[in-house]
Structure 1
Amino acid sequence: MSETMLGLDPKDCLDLVKLLKDSAHRLEQSSSQLNQSVARTGWQGPDSQRFRAQWPGQRAQMLQTASALGDLASVVLRNVAEQERASAAEEGGGGLLDKLFDGAHGLWDDLTTGAGHIVTEVENGVGWLIERGPGAAFAKSGLNFLDQLNHLGVMGADALAGKPPSMAGLVSQLALAAGTGLSAGVLGLSGGTINLNLFDDGSPKVGEPVPVGNNSERRVRLPSSLSEILGGVDDAYAMNGTAVSPDGDIRIVKIKQDDGSSAYIVNIPGTENWGINGNSNARDLTGNLMLVAGQSTTACQDVALAMHKAGIPPGAPVMMVGHSQGGMIAGQLASDPAFTSQFNVTNILTAGSPIDNDAIAPGIQVLGAQHHGDIVPKLDLGGMGADLGMPGPQPNVTLVTMDDPPRDTLGNILHYAPSPVGNLIQDVRDIGSNHANGSYQSDLANTSKYPPVGAYEQSPSMRPFLSADPSKVTAVDVPVGRK
């Protein structure tokens, strides 16, 4: 073995392989989404013709870069195998280990590189069909199915490389593959007359920022505490379905600093639609499943584009705040090097969000609030792997388990009434109350009961985001959705 191989850490290298593969896949996904958007955009004239003529070459460069990243991943994986073979040889073995690593390497390439090339070629066909109309639904449905199969294949390859997926992620990915396969099958068997459109995440739709006034319906909430900061998510929830944000909203609060710079709070609501058939609000059940499976979603892209639209500069401190799926989106974005290289995210606050599967960048300080009886943050099974292993604690993530909200007078009456129906009604009410953003907002105000909340609120990283001065705080609503 050459001298440069001495000291190779297989685990670190496998992490690098996963990052390279994930980056390649994201580039391929982005090229496909852009290709579809270019085909759909209603833009005519000489400028449009020049742009469309240049686009295929630009897309080819993206795909070449993705392919190069995949090749680099294979090189690193090959070096890991060589290291393991050398180590085994020194210990007097290696024959079986050799075959296992060679087999894993070959299967990795077959499942990821090979499947990725197939998906890319199908995506090229989809773009052609969308531009011309006939067959677009068939191609789109088939592509969605292939994409989910590709993600499933990557999970299998990761497992063979010693990086088993989370149990919740695997189950979610199996559901996504089964649903998109069913949708494609029904569409084909019905001759295109029945389109279930299951788990179609579409593409992002982001409007122009709308300044928030100080009237009774839309006011700028001062971020004077963690409780009030989380209240900004309620403000974003309230905008869904309005003329300003008919399909969902991201509220971005800007806090002017003494030196003239600014910090930003990005408020992300949770699930607002429980559909699975590509509705116009991207924060739906499809988004939940994809996030648990470790995929970037249209809702994630909505947030990133909204931040660009709001003019957040690269070096400005950013705090991301999310309830339920909103916290999952924040965790997914904070685990994506492509996103964290664009924005200086320093803090994340989540409420009722399953974030145990996220590999959030270590420099980001995270506070996760979870009620004892809230089932939603437990849906990731604590990050348990498919091999039943549990992840170790992340030093930058603080999880605070809070008491469930007290039952109100009506609830107590229903609960203690000698009626099974009354008890059932109260149990259902408890589920909603335990997960409600307003309940978390109340508990975050009780810093004496929950010292970690007070410590986080007073930490140096939080200083840019806390202000009770109306002259220093402004906000915009950015309408988002799915098309």
Structure 2
Amino acid sequence: MSHALAFRGMDTRRARAHGDRLRSASEDLAELRGRLDPVVARVGWVGPDADVLRARWSDLASARLTQLGTELLALSGMLMAEAARQDAASAAGVAEAAGRPGPLSGHDGHGDRGATDGSGYLTRDDPRLPGWLEEPFEGAASDLAGVVSDAIGWGVDQALEGAGWAAGRLGLDSDGLEQAHRDGDALGGLLEDWATGERVPTIAELGASTLLAAGSAAIAPAELVTDTGLLDPRTDVTVHGVREILHPSTPQDLADLIVANDEARRSGVVGVAAGGYDGTSSGQVRIQTVRAADGGEAYIVHAPPTGGEPIWDPQAWGPQGNSAGWDSNLRSMAGQESAAMADVRAAMEATGVPPGADVLFVGHSQGGLTAAQLAADPAFNSTSGRLGSYDVTHIFSVGSPVETVVPAQGRTEVVNVAHNPVWAPTPQVAGFPSPGYAPIHIADPVPRLDLDGHRVDGSRVAAPNVRDAWLDAPQQTHGESSQITNAHESVLRTSRGIDPTGGYYGSVRGSTDSNPVLARLQADLEGRYVGEGVVVVSDQVVEVGREDMR
């Protein structure tokens, strides 16, 4: 009785093609290093810092590029040699199938039916199963066997790639595996940077990356049979429309900026969001073009906070059309490109903000973090004038966790307002020597999610151009919202209208003159983005987001 076996060796054609790509990549790295070495050497900069820069380039960048190029070339040679050996083994298998002795003979020394498809696939078919049914399953089983072997030598990275290939052979959707692969790579990159001393990640950044990697891995099995959209970055956003505010008003101070930002996320408040906008199918980014007192033109970009479904609804973690869901919170905190960031890029392009333009970002909660991550991108925050780059002069945010992010330009000023708790003594309790203390005004927990920028080695991210303005949380004046809502909302709206003392609007309104950080920011923006002599010449709301999967 013959033994039905299936074995998939190396696809030598693809192996040789990949070997060629590795060799080409090695040559590209050598060319890149050859171009950059003289550039670094010719930098017109002298002094100890310049010497440190050149030494670090030589020891870390240039040397590592050389080493990586050598390793890629070696891998290319190994792959070519393995392909040659596989071809020899396949030829022996074909000889055995023709009745000649070969290394894959059966127990009785005679081979069963054998074949090769030129890609390393050798099979002994089970006559009880039709070929159309057996072939995909035996190919997938062989692929998975190869995955197990690869995982021993090459790790989880190759395992996920192989599992994706096997899923494809079975007609399953491998997008979830690829997503898990990308998130695992991102986490691995952080750990590698830490291990090699390149950069120590913050606790918040590493925690968010770990959650993304673990979540994507957990979702991957379900993604094989259905597209859940969960934790899928989906940064291919679409602009659904641009609407003009016909009678814009010019912001006079920081409090007015908070109100303008809050208006942009609401339906009907600014009079441009008609048509059933509900904040779930898309989001809104507001862009104001201002003419400064000196005649120069600048732009105020309002990045929205978390939008759409609440945190406990799975739709809020990727499937909804509004890009500013809770999944974008995680991606931005992990330092990755989020769909919320893509929204802002698309909105600025749609409204014609020119490259190199002066930009003030205003954001609340996630909006501030989105702005900070964009400003940390040297391709975005730049004075180069290249397409897609802008000169981010200031970021003003409220209730945002931004202390893990350092702008790409040292001249970009970042100010975030955060609410501290207000404590008061509790009544004297018999048996205790003194009264205790309890918060009478609850703090906003969101700005603290960055853990004050602490890194995993105990150090802390510190940049002189990134500052928090800590204000006392507002006193509860109306019973229509909770204290935690009052502490985190940018503008507290009640049935009586805007509460003049509630939310961040109320705190900033009453503290701009007395708080030195806010007073300095107000002075910086005066005459340039807000205040006397400034005119809003265009006020647009861009409706933008991802395809709604529901």
Q: TM-score, normalised by structure 1?
A: 0.66
**Mapping of 1:64-463 within 5 angstroms?**
68=29, 83=59, 138-162=173-197, 163-188=199-224, 192=225, 194-202=226-234, 203-214=236-247, 220-239=248-267, 242-243=274-275, 247-257=282-292, 260-273=295-308, 274=311, 275-341=316-382, 342-360=389-407, 361-372=409-420, 373-392=443-462, 394-408=463-477, 410=479, 429-438=482-491, 439-446=503-510, 447-459=512-524, 462-463=526-527
**Residue equivalent to 1:25:** none
1:288 alignment partner, SS class: helix
More relative contact order in 1 or in 2 (CA 8 Å, sep 6+)? 1
Query: How far off its partner does 1:292 sit?
Result: 0.9
Judged with a 3 Å threshold, the aligned counterparts in structure 2 of structure 1 residues 278 and 462 are, in CA distance, closer, same or farther, namely farther
**Residue equivalent to 1:16:** none
Asked if the contact 1:222/1:468 (under 8 Å) is kept, the reply is no
Judged with a 3 Å threshold, the aligned counterparts in structure 2 of structure 1 residues 365 and 185 are, in CA distance, closer, same or farther, namely same
Judged with a 3 Å threshold, the aligned counterparts in structure 2 of structure 1 residues 146 and 391 are, in CA distance, closer, same or farther, namely same
Query: How far off its partner does 1:407 sit?
Result: 1.2
Judged with a 3 Å threshold, the aligned counterparts in structure 2 of structure 1 residues 455 and 70 are, in CA distance, closer, same or farther, namely farther
Judged with a 3 Å threshold, the aligned counterparts in structure 2 of structure 1 residues 78 and 356 are, in CA distance, closer, same or farther, namely same
Query: How far off its partner does 1:410 sit?
Result: 3.6
Asked if the contact 1:369/1:400 (under 8 Å) is kept, the reply is yes
Distance 1:308 1:362 in 2: 25
Distance 2:58 2:30 in 1: 20
Distance 1:278 1:288 in 2: 14
Judged with a 3 Å threshold, the aligned counterparts in structure 2 of structure 1 residues 430 and 312 are, in CA distance, closer, same or farther, namely same
CA deviation profile, 1:326-347 (whole Å, cap 9, x unmatched): 0000000000011113111111
Structure showing the higher helix proportion among its residues: 1
1:311 alignment partner, SS class: coil
CA deviation profile, 1:345-390 (whole Å, cap 9, x unmatched): 1111010000011011311111111111110010111111122322
CA deviation profile, 1:159-181 (whole Å, cap 9, x unmatched): 11222211111111111111111
Distance 2:160 2:334 in 1: 21
Query: How far off its partner does 1:445 sit?
Result: 1.7
Asked if the contact 1:404/1:434 (under 8 Å) is kept, the reply is yes
1:482 aligns with 2:523: no
Query: How far off its partner does 1:64 sit?
Result: 7.6
Query: How far off its partner does 1:452 sit?
Result: 2.2
1:243 alignment partner, SS class: coil
Q: Which amino acid aligns with 2:291?
A: K
CA deviation profile, 1:64-122 (whole Å, cap 9, x unmatched): 89x759975999999859859xxxxxxxxxxxxxxxxx99x99xxx9xxx99x979999
Q: Which amino acid aligns with 2:453?
A: G
Distance 1:143 1:78 in 2: 38
Q: Which amino acid aligns with 1:453?
A: L
Judged with a 3 Å threshold, the aligned counterparts in structure 2 of structure 1 residues 297 and 258 are, in CA distance, closer, same or farther, namely same
Distance 1:199 1:169 in 2: 16
Q: Which amino acid aligns with 1:207?
A: H
Q: Which amino acid aligns with 1:186?
A: A
Distance 2:372 2:379 in 1: 14
Distance 2:159 2:380 in 1: 24
1:206 alignment partner, SS class: strand
Distance 1:391 1:471 in 2: 37
Distance 1:119 1:307 in 2: 40
Distance 2:403 2:192 in 1: 22
Asked if the contact 2:237/2:339 (under 8 Å) is kept, the reply is yes
**Structure 1, unaligned stretches of length 5 or more?**
1-59, 85-101, 215-219, 412-425
Q: Give the share of equivalent positions with the same residue, in percent.
A: 28
Give runs of ≥4 in structure 1 deviating > 3 Å: 67-84, 117-122, 194-197, 239-242, 257-261, 467-473
**Residue equivalent to 1:35:** none
Judged with a 3 Å threshold, the aligned counterparts in structure 2 of structure 1 residues 69 and 195 are, in CA distance, closer, same or farther, namely farther
Distance 1:178 1:121 in 2: 17
Distance 2:451 2:32 in 1: 34
**Residue equivalent to 1:22:** none
Count of aligned residue pairs for this structure pair:
362
Asked if the contact 1:264/1:317 (under 8 Å) is kept, the reply is yes
2:266 alignment partner, SS class: helix
CA deviation profile, 1:9-43 (whole Å, cap 9, x unmatched): xxxxxxxxxxxxxxxxxxxxxxxxxxxxxxxxxxx
Judged with a 3 Å threshold, the aligned counterparts in structure 2 of structure 1 residues 145 and 407 are, in CA distance, closer, same or farther, namely same
Asked if the contact 2:474/2:506 (under 8 Å) is kept, the reply is no
Distance 2:473 2:376 in 1: 29
Judged with a 3 Å threshold, the aligned counterparts in structure 2 of structure 1 residues 280 and 159 are, in CA distance, closer, same or farther, namely same
